[in-house]
Every structure is written in C-alpha cells, then in structure tokens.
Structure 1
Amino acid sequence: MARNLEFNEDEVIQKAMEVFWRKGYAATSMRDLTDAMQINISSLYNSIGDKHELFIRCIRHYTNGRIQSAQKRVANFDSPFAALESFINDAAKTIVSEPNSCLCVKATFETEGCDPEVQKAINEYNDHVHQFIKRMVENAQEAGEIAAHEDADIIADYLDSLFTGWYNSFIMHKDGQRILKMAGLSIRQLKQ
C-alpha cells in the first residue's frame, strides 16, 4: 500500500528553488535542501528524486510561475501595444528587483549549457516566451500600433536578447535606472 506524502510538493519545490536560486546548483548540498524543505532525505529521494531531478523541477516550477504571472498581467489590456509595453517594463522591474538574478540565466551560466536536461527546460521556457512576445507583437501590428512590415519573429528575438543583456548589465553594474531607461528606449523604438 502506497504511503501518503507528508508534505505539499509545490511548497517544498518552492523552498528548494529558493535555495538553488540563492546558492546555485553546485554550492547547494543535499543538507541545504532537506533543511530548507523540512523533509528527510529518504522522503526527498522517494518522492522527487536526486538533487539533479529536484533542480530540473525547480527550474520548471520557476518558469511555470513566470509564464502564469505574465499571462495574467497582459490579459487586462485593451491595447495590444500597452500589453507589450507593460510586459517590457515588468521584465525590467523584475531584473532590478530580484536579488538573485533570473534562475534560468543563473543556471545557464553555471552549467555552461552542458547539462542537456537543464538546457531543455530553459529552452522550452525561452520558446514559450518567444511565442508569447511574438503573439503580442502580431496583435499590436493587427491593431496598427506597430508597423506591419516589421517581422514579429525578429522583434521577439530582439526583445528576448535585450532582456538577457539587461540581466548581465544589472549583475555587473547594479544600476537599476540604467535598465529602466533601456526598457523605455526599446518601447520608443517599437513605436516608430
């Protein structure tokens, strides 16, 4: 007879994610994880798996939360361009307010793209974000708010690369105003 889990899996994944986010994958020990999650190691192995599997699940938990949050935020705009503008500003504000940078950016740099499972989870998220941005751009083009001759795919790539660059800039310079000004510039460029 299977034993009932004695913990809420979403809650313990969130706690583990915060440890990985703060310390990074390599520096996080199983002890760090079980202490934060408040479960014993056998429960962790039996219900979730090893450290690597937990890390993948934490990345997916993080990315799913970001996707849901973005979808909710942009759903309330009448203007497609206003939704896109809000998304860009929210990205900039998140970059300057997250104390540990983006978990995906951090994981990519730490694993140097050499962990296929980590890279797959991050690539799936990036693909989703790309399509999400592309749809917003296409909606703004249909509404006449962005020039119709511009390639929505390229605009989505452009914005995604800007976000990554903003993370790098903020990590190096810790200048939040610089990031917010770059967000404003990107919005003005899209209006032209």
Structure 2
Amino acid sequence: MARSVEFDQEAAIQKAMEVFRKKGYSATSMRDLTEAMQINSSSLYNTIGDKQELFVRAVQCYTDSRKRDLDERAAASTSALEILKNYIDYSVYNIVSETDGCMAVKMAFEVATSDERVKAVLKKDSDNQYEFIRKHIALAMEQGQIANDESPELLADYFLSTWSGWNESYILHKDVDKIKRMARYFIRQLSK
C-alpha cells in the first residue's frame, strides 16, 4: 500500500522560494529544495511536480506576496504622495536589507528570457507595480501634491526603470547611502 503524502504545500513552496531566491534557479539542486522543504523527492514529484513546476509556483508565491503588500499600502493612507513616499522608502529598505535581493529582478534576467511561464508571472507582477505607482502619481496630481507637467505613465515607467537600476547598483557597490540619496532625489523630483 502506498504511503500518503502529507505536508503543508504552501509552507514548503515558501521554503523553496527562499532557496531559489538565494541561489538562483540554475544553481539550485533538487537536494537543496527537498532539504529546505523537509520532504523527500518522491513527495515533491507526486504533489508539485519537477523543479521547473516548483520554481514557477515559488515565483508566483513571491509575486503574490508583493501584490498583497501593494494592496495594504494603498489602503494605508488617503494621501497619494505619502503612499508613494512610503513605497519608495520601503523599496530602498528592501534593496539594502534583503541579503538575497529582489527575486523578481534576479529571475527576470536568469529565467524569464527563456521560460514563458515565468516571464508571464513576472510581467503580471511588473504590471501590478506599474499600475500601483501610476495610479498614486495620478491621484497625487489630482490632490495637488505633485506637479502634473508629466504624464503619470511616464513617471511610473521612469520609477520602475530607476528602481531596477538601484537594485543593480546596490548589488555591485553595496553603497547604502548612494541608494538612499537616489531615492530622496526621486521623491524631490516628484514633489516639485
């Protein structure tokens, strides 16, 4: 009689996500994953599937948590500019304090160029980030908190590109003050 496979899949996927985030997709072995998830390989294959399927689910788990964070931030204040400032400050905090970096940024370069499912998950995440920023820039303009001499779409695109650059800069230079100065500059530019 076959043994039933019982484990908390969500918790296991969360643990796998941390391994992928730290090591990347290519450098992560099945052994790394099963050890972190505290399951045997047959349980993994029987419930979730192979490494690729687990990876897609781990990336989805990561981006789902980012979406929940955006929703919570949107509900946190009535001031669109304050929501944007808090988001930018939190982005800087994540860049300089997360030892393994942003999984979305890392995986966009490592895997999304060759895996359409991962690319679709990361594109949806990027679209969510963009829409959050665009919406709050537009609201801040309506509330008279920032000038409306540029389109919210352009400013949202600019921020996302800038934020990716901050990630790269921190990975290469590990200069916390540099990232904070760039964030303050961006906020000043918005606030003019």
For 1:108, the equivalent position in structure 2 comes to: 108
> Deviations along 1:116-174, whole A, 9 cap, x unmatched?
22111111100111111111111111111122342111111011011100000000000
For 1:31, the equivalent position in structure 2 comes to: 31
Q: Does 1:178 align with 2:181?
A: no
Q: Is the 8 A contact 2:145 2:191 kept in 1?
A: yes
> Deviations along 1:20-76, whole A, 9 cap, x unmatched?
111111111111111110111121112111101111111110111112123213422
Paired residues, what number?
190
TM-score, normalised by the number of residues in structure 2 = 0.94
- Superposed, 1:1-192 pairs within 5 Å as 6-111=6-111, 113-192=113-192
Aligned-residue RMSD, C-alpha: 1.5
Q: Is the 8 A contact 1:74 1:87 kept in 2?
A: no
Q: Is the 8 A contact 1:96 1:176 kept in 2?
A: yes
Identity over aligned pairs, percent: 45
Structure 1: segments with no counterpart, 5+ residues: none
Secondary structure of 1:88's aligned partner: helix
Q: Is the 8 A contact 1:44 1:50 kept in 2?
A: yes
Q: Is the 8 A contact 1:13 1:57 kept in 2?
A: yes
Q: Is the 8 A contact 2:112 2:119 kept in 1?
A: no
Q: Distance in 2 between matches of 1:101 and 1:154?
A: 26
Q: Distance in 2 between matches of 1:173 and 1:78?
A: 36
Q: CA deviation at 1:112?
A: 6.3
Q: Distance in 2 between matches of 1:44 and 1:157?
A: 39
Q: Distance in 2 between matches of 1:148 and 1:5?
A: 57
TM-score, normalised by the number of residues in structure 1 = 0.94
Going from structure 1 to structure 2, the CA distance change for 1:98 and 1:186 (only over 3 Å counts) comes to same
Structure 2: segments with no counterpart, 5+ residues: none
Q: Distance in 1 between matches of 2:53 and 2:177?
A: 37
Q: Is the 8 A contact 1:13 1:37 kept in 2?
A: yes
Q: Is the 8 A contact 2:104 2:122 kept in 1?
A: yes
Q: Distance in 2 between matches of 1:145 and 1:6?
A: 53
The structure 1 segments of at least 4 consecutive aligned residues displaced by more than 3 Å after TM superposition are none
